[in-house]
Amino acid sequence: MSIIPYDQRDGYIWMNGGLVPWRDAKIHVLTHGLHYGSGVFEGARIYSGEVFALKQHSERLHASAKVLGFEIPYTVAQIEQACRDVIKAQGLAEGYIRPIAWRGSEEMGVAAKATKINLAVACWDWGSYFPMEERLKGIRLRFADYRRPDPMTAPCKAKATGLYMICTIEKHRSMDTGYADALMLDYRGLIAEATGANVFFVKDGKLHTPAPDCFLDGITRRTVIGLAKKRGIETVERQIQPEELAGFEQCFLTGSAAEVTPVSEIGQYRFTVGEITKTLMDDYSANARPKHAAAE
C-alpha cells in the first residue's frame, strides 16, 4: 500500500489564525519544537462531519501546553472553531483531526522563553488504526522493552510530542517482529498502556484497567468506563501486575484512533474476543457518532 506523503496532499490546513493551502503549511528547520520536543498535540476522530469529544480534546491541548510551560494564544472555543473550519474546508465526513501547538523559531537552545507559540489543525481521511480483519480477531501485542517514565522523570500527564520517542521505537520493534503493537509496563514494572492507547482486561464480568497515575487518562478510556457503567459493568481501576494477565479472559485497547480494539495476545498470554469486548466496541461506535446521524 503506497501512502501519499503528508506534505504532498491538497486542500487546507488551519495555521496560526486561518486556513492556508495544504502544501504551504510549512515551518522552518530551526524550530524549537523540532529540536527540543516542545510541542503538544491532540488526535480525535471525525464521525459524520463532527469531532467526537471536541471540547475535551481542545481543553486537554491547553492543559498539556500548561504542563510544558506555555500558553496557546487561542481559547478552547477558538480551537474548536478552527477544527470545524478545517473539516468544512476539507469536506471531510469521516476521518481524523490533529491539532498541534509548538514553540517556534525565534530562539534556539534549551531556553525558549522568547519563542512564539504556534497552532495548527489538519484533518484527513484515516481508516481503522489497526487493519479491520485483524481487529475483529484481536490484535497481537508484544511486551515493550521501554517503560513509561516515572512522573518525576517526564511530564507524563501531557500529550507531548517528546513522550512519543519511545512509542515509535516500540511500535517499530513490534512491526518488525510480526506484532501489531507493544504493551508497555510503567517504571515500577506494572501494566501501563500500549504505544498510543489505554488497555482494559475482563475477568468475571468486570473490567480491570491500570490506574492512570503515570500515563494519559484517555478520553476514550473515560468514555468506555461510562458506557460499561450504563450496562451495569463495573470497572476496577488499580495497579495490575504483569503475572495477573494469566487470569484475565478478554483484553482490549482504547484510544481516539484505535477506538475499542480487541487484543488476542500479549507476550505469552492469550485472550478471547468475548461478549463484553464486542458490546463495548459497538457501544463506543454508536456513542461516538453524532446523535442526529445515528438516528438517520
Strand (E) or helix (H) holding 225:
helix 219-230
Q: Which is nearer to ligand PMP, 120 or 156 (CB)?
A: 156
Segment contacting ligand PMP by CB under 6 A, of 1-9, 107-115, 134-142, 194-202:
194-202
Name the residue nearer to ligand PMP (CB basis): 15 or 199. 199
Q: What whole-number distance in Å separates Cα of residue 217 and Cα of residue 238?
A: 13
- Contacting residue, 39, 196, 210, 262, with ligand PMP by CB under 6 A: 196
**What is d(CA 210, CA 105) in angstroms, rounded to the nearest whole number?**
39
3-class SS of residue 80: helix
Residue 177, Cβ density class (10 Å: 0-12 exposed, 13-18 middle, ≥19 buried): exposed
Q: Which is nearer to ligand PMP, 19 or 183 (CB)?
A: 183
What's the sign of the alpha-carbon dihedral 283, 204, 221, 253? negative
The 3-42 site mask, x for binding ligand PMP (CB under 6 A), equals ----------------------------------------
Among 58, 115, 198, 277, binds ligand PMP (CB under 6 A): 198
* Residue reference for cell 471540547: 55
φ, ψ (nearest 5 deg) of residue 283: -60, -40
- C-alpha distances in angstroms, 169 versus 144, 182, 195, 253, 266? 9, 10, 9, 19, 18
Contact status, residue 51 vs residue 44, Cβ threshold 8 Å: yes
Is position 58 an interface residue for ligand PMP (rule: CB under 6 A)? Answer: no
Most distant CA atoms of the chain, gap in Å: 57
By annotation, the residues acting in catalysis are: 159
Instruction: Specify whether the CB–CB gap between 233 and 207 falls below 8 A.
Output: yes
Q: How many CB atoms lie within 10 A of CB 156?
A: 21
Which is nearer to ligand PMP, 89 or 164 (by Cβ)? 164
CB of residue 109 vs ligand PMP: minimum separation in angstroms? 28
* Cβ pair 242, 265 in contact under 8 A: no
3-class secondary structure, 182 = strand
Task: Identify which of residues 104 and 218 has a Cβ nearer to ligand PMP in the complex.
Answer: 218
Interaction pattern, residues 156-185, with ligand PMP; x per rule: CB under 6 A: ---x--------------------------
Residue with Cβ nearer ligand PMP (112 or 157) = 157
| Contact track, ligand PMP, 255-294, x by CB under 6 A | xx--------------------------------------
What x-and-dash track marks residues 199-238 binding ligand PMP by CB under 6 A?
----------------xx-xxxx-----------------
In the bound complex, what is the minimum distance in angstroms from residue 221's beta carbon to ligand PMP? Answer: 6
Q: Contact positions toward ligand PMP, by CB under 6 A?
A: 43, 159, 193, 196-198, 215-216, 218-221, 254-256
